[in-house]
Amino acid sequence: MAEPRTHGNPARGRPIGAGARASGPRLRRGQALATRPVTALRAEHLVLYIALTVGALVSLSPFMVMIGQSLMTLGETLTRAPLPATPQWGNYEQAWNDADFGIYFRNSVIITATVILGMLITCTLAGYAFARIAFPGRDVLFATLLATLMIPGTVTFIPGFLLVRGDIIPWGSWLNTLPALTVPFLSTAFIIFLFRQFFAQIPNELWDAARIDGAGHLRFLTTVVVPMSRPVMITATLLTFVNAWNEFLWPLLVTTNPTWRPLAVGLANFIDDAGPQTHLLMAGSVITIVPVLVLYFFTQRQFTEGIATSGLKG
């Protein structure tokens, strides 16, 4: 029986036609796609575009209503006018001045910056320890940490309030102070988990090379791990910024005067015995969300990259 002819190098011993047979399924799949009617493909794309458009409109509608009412008069908001007859751009200035938004804005900036800085330090150290250091009880402690994610935040309000007021640990009352608004949020289980998952993907060869150079864990963390972790740190910064900036219930619970109250609590100044001043309330809400939108606009690529590259390795 004659041996099948080979193409190219005879040492490979690959019969002519083997590639064609191997690519047969690919050709059949390509032919199946090619034989589908063009109108069917266009119909599928049209349905997808319509669904995405409807979803985008539903998501944007609250913001559009908020912006529209922030430019109305109080009477127009009460009559539920769809659009302002004449845009009242002075509502933003009036909202800023009438509610002392300058004080609340300063407080929000200080609180948010302190929380972000503390979070980056504590969660980086904790995430690195869980990912790169083998110590007794590490897995049990990490599982316990993850279990705390199942606990609703409102359940911890009363114990946290008693702790801040000094009833549990006699260190004095922290009410109406900056520590009461920042210390409980300097570390979160989710950010530790996010960092741990990212740090676990760093090759061990880098740690071996660092040890040869005489580096310890702290030097390896600061000179190798942290520079490589820019995407996940930007993601954690953005998530923490949004949570700290929009926090309402906890500042309302631990403050009784405007000295350290943030913007979210300051919006309540537009609600009095006569009812809410809806146009100023909406104007204040727009002022409140602008920093979040600006930050996300400049960090959305890093935010997506940080989410995509975390959690891939357990």
pLDDT tens digits, one per residue of 240-288: 999 999 999 999 999 988 889 999 998 888 887 777 889 899 999 999 9
Structure tokens, 135: 């110590």
Share of the chain above pLDDT 90, in %: 53
* Per-residue confidence band for 308, with pLDDT thresholds at 50, 70 and 90: low
Q: What is the C-alpha separation between 32 and 48, in angstroms, rounded?
A: 22
**DSSP per residue over 50-102, as a string?**
HHHHHHHHHHHHHHHHHHHHHTS-HHHHHTT-SS-SS--THHHHHHHHHTTHH
Average pLDDT (105-134) is 95
Would you say 65 and 281 are in contact if contact means Cβ atoms under 8 Å apart?
Answer: no
- With 0-12 CB in 10 A as exposed, 13-18 as middle and 19+ as buried, what is 39? exposed
What is the per-residue pLDDT across 157-208, written as a single tens digit (0 to 9) for each?
999 999 999 888 888 899 999 999 999 999 999 999 999 999 998 999 999 9
Sequence spans of domains, the chain = 38-70, 100-308
Cα(197)–Cα(108) distance, integer angstroms: 30
Domain 100-308, CATH 1.10.3720.10 — does that match? Answer: yes
Q: What does the CA dihedral 222, 227, 230, 236 come to, rounded to 10 degrees?
A: -10
Each residue of 66-99: pLDDT tens digit? Answer: 999 999 998 888 888 888 889 999 999 998 988 8
Is 233 exposed, middle or buried (CB count within 10 Å of its CB: 0-12, 13-18, 19+)?
buried
pTM, rounded to two decimals: 0.78
| Backbone φ and ψ of 276, nearest 5° | -75, 140
Beta bridge partners of 6: 15
Q: Judge whether residue 132 has pLDDT over 50.
A: yes
DSSP state of 6: B
**Mean pLDDT, the chain, integer:** 84
Helix (H, G, I), strand (E, B) or coil at 314: coil
pLDDT for the residue numbered 195: 94
Q: How many CB atoms lie within 10 A of CB 192?
A: 25
pLDDT at residue 21 in the model:
47
SS3 label, residue 15: strand
3-state DSSP assignment of residue 111: helix
Looking at residue 7, what is its pLDDT?
47
N-term to C-term CA, the chain: 55
Helices (H) and strands (E) in the chain, counts: 17, 2
Share of the chain above pLDDT 70, in %: 84
Residues 235/116, Cβ–Cβ less than 8 Å: no
CA 138/CA 148 separation, integer angstroms: 16
Tokens of 170: 């006699």
Spatial distance between the Cα atoms of 175 and 165, rounded to a whole number of angstroms? 6
Confidence of residue 314 (pLDDT cuts 50, 70, 90): very low
Identify the DSSP state of 167. Answer: S
**Would you say 92 and 70 are in contact if contact means Cβ atoms under 8 Å apart?**
yes
Q: Is the pLDDT of residue 39 over 80?
A: no
Quick check: 284 and 104 in contact, CB under 8 A? no
Six-digit token string for 154: 């409102």
Reported confidence tier of residue 41, pLDDT bands at 50, 70, 90: low
pLDDT band at 114 (very low <50, low <70, confident <90, very high): very high
Indicate whether 52 pLDDT > 50: yes
Cα separations in angstroms, 9 against 6, 16, 110: 7, 12, 72
State the burial class of residue 169 (Cβ atoms within 10 Å of its Cβ: 0-12, 13-18, 19+).
exposed
The closest of 285, 229, 293, 250 to 111, measured between CA atoms, is: 250
User: What's the pLDDT band for 304 if we cut at 50, 70, 90?
Assistant: confident
